[in-house]
């Protein structure tokens, strides 16, 4: 095939169409870049933005959790309870909200000595052997998509946590 024949086969693009195509491709690259950046920062799961502590240092109850979690993915939530919420040698931690119904709670560490059902949730009772603050770790797998709310109460103090579950 000669050069003249090859040039004869070239199909020229309409300048307006080519310009629109390039613009659309650039928009696609920007959207893809923003999606990757959102994932890295934590808007789509674990990351700096997703790590959150609800309640301030020094509060009776405070919760460390991820703002965003994923359906059926193993995750943890840590509840810190100050020493003043302990009555004698017992800590009663009340958990209520749709978070309990929307997750599969696979482990609680330390294990509670007793559990009681209350309207909308449960009370976990822990024996405390040494004075000091207590950290309770809940290991779970989300079973519902969307926003889940958990309220943790101990010693007359309450904190409410919101967690968004993605597919």
Q: How far is CA 74 from CA 40, 80, 132, 152, 164, in A?
A: 19, 20, 29, 20, 14
pLDDT digits (tens, 9 = 90+) for 81-93: 999 998 888 999 9
For residue 31, the model assigns a pLDDT of 81
* Predicted structure pTM score: 0.77
State the Cα–Cα distance between residues 43 and 30, nearest whole angstrom: 17
For residue 164, the model assigns a pLDDT of 92
For residue 99, the model assigns a pLDDT of 95
Contact 133, 83 (CB under 8 A): yes
Grouped pLDDT means (10 residues each) for the chain, 167 residues: 58 75 84 76 66 86 92 94 90 95 94 94 93 93 95 94 92
For residue 51, the model assigns a pLDDT of 79
Direct distance between the N- and C-terminal alpha carbons of the chain, in angstroms, rounded to an integer: 55
Q: How far is CA 148 from CA 10, 62, 97, 154, in A?
A: 58, 17, 8, 20
CA-angle at 52, arms to 49 and 58, nearest 5°:
145
């Amino acid at each position: 095939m000669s050069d003249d024949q090859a040039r004869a086969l070239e199909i020229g693009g309409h300048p307006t169409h080519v310009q629109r195509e390039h613009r659309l491709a650039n928009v696609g690259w920007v959207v893809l870049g923003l999606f990757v950046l959102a994932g890295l920062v934590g808007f789509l799961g674990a990351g700096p933005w997703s790590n959150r502590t609800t309640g301030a240092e020094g509060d009776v109850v405070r919760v460390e959790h991820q703002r965003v979690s994923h359906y059926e993915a193993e995750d943890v939530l840590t509840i810190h309870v100050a020493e003043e919420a302990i009555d004698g040698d017992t800590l009663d931690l009340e958990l209520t909200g749709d978070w309990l119904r929307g997750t599969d709670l696979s482990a609680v560490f330390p294990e509670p000595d007793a559990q009681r059902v209350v309207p909308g949730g449960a009370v976990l009772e822990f024996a405390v052997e040494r004075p000091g603050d207590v950290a309770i770790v809940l290991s779970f797998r989300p079973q519902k998509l969307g926003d889940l709310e958990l309220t943790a109460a101990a010693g007359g103090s309450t904190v409410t946590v919101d967690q968004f579950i993605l597919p």
